[in-house]
Amino acid sequence: MIDAHLLPLQRALMAPPARFLITCGVRADQITLVGFGIGLLAALAAALGCYQLALAGLVANRLADGLDGAVARLTTPTDRGAFLDIALDFAFYATFPIGFICADPAANGLPGAILIASIVLTSTSFLAYSVIAERQGLEAKDYPTKGIYYLGGLAEGAETIAVFVAFCLFPASFPWIACAFAAICLITAGTRYVAGWQVFGGR
């Protein structure tokens, strides 16, 4: 919901370290893969009950997600980079809650499963819309430099990360936070289904 508003600030903050990484010979794809690896370690830390470490890994993963795009824009963006960026983002979003499920299966199992299912629905509706929008030559005015078409919603990247931070800070409240965010994800998926039905209905 607020990603488009945060984008200019994110790019301003990421540009200086991105330039430094470029001078060191670091490529965008490398940052993407390392960031995803850190994200998996963050989920493992959550599974072991090390929530502060999980939070640190979450922050590092998101920093990498901002840096890879900044490096790509300052060099040569590629379709492979765009694919890795979005595919591994969604893989991380679906994986991180599993750490909290493993930490307390009795309390977190069902809420975590509901949350992951809702994330899958938002992700697939996002990607399906993006594919058809690209095929029809549509452009996302709020995200003109993204590698694929971006359709916003209530649950976007910023909201997802805020919820993941809340998991780390208040792990005992995981069931309630997860169910509340799952409801928001379901609303987001629903609005995308409606948008797809309306926008693509006459094409």
- Tokens describing residue 44: 């493992």
Q: For residue 172, give every residue at least 6 positions away whose Cβ sits within 8 Å of its Cβ, in sequence order, or none.
A: none
CA distance 149 to 147: 7
Query: Where does 3-199 sit in CATH, by number?
Result: 1.20.120.1760
Q: Does residue 203 carry a pLDDT above 60? A: no
Find tokens 């590629």 and name the residue.
78
What confidence category does residue 15 fall into, taking pLDDT thresholds of 50, 70 and 90? confident
CA distances from 101 to 37, 53, 62, 122, 201 (A): 19, 16, 21, 20, 40
Q: For residue 165, give every residue at least 6 positions away whose Cβ sits within 8 Å of its Cβ, in sequence order, or none.
A: 55, 58
* pLDDT tens digits for range 177-195: 999 999 999 999 999 999 8
Of 201, 110, 197, 119, which Cα lies nearest the Cα of 163? 119
* pLDDT tens digits for range 113-157: 999 999 999 999 988 888 888 888 777 666 655 666 667 777 788
Neighbours of 162 (CB within 10 A): 11
Count CA atoms closer than 13 A to 37's CA, side-chain side.
6
CA distances from 12 to 17, 67, 76, 80 (A): 10, 11, 19, 24
> What's the pLDDT at 13?
82
Query: What are the domain boundaries of the chain?
Result: 3-199
> What's the pLDDT at 140?
66
* pLDDT tens digits for range 57-67: 999 999 999 99
* pLDDT tens digits for range 60-90: 999 999 999 899 989 888 889 989 999 999 9
pTM score: 0.87
> What's the pLDDT at 9?
75
CA distance 156 to 95: 16
What average pLDDT does the chain have? 89
- pLDDT > 90 in the chain, percent: 62
> What's the pLDDT at 147?
60
> What's the pLDDT at 28?
93
> What's the pLDDT at 106?
97
> What's the pLDDT at 8?
73
> What's the pLDDT at 201?
77
What confidence category does residue 2 fall into, taking pLDDT thresholds of 50, 70 and 90? low
> What's the pLDDT at 199?
86
- pLDDT > 70 in the chain, percent: 90
Pair 85, 69: CB distance under 8 Å: yes
> What's the pLDDT at 136?
82
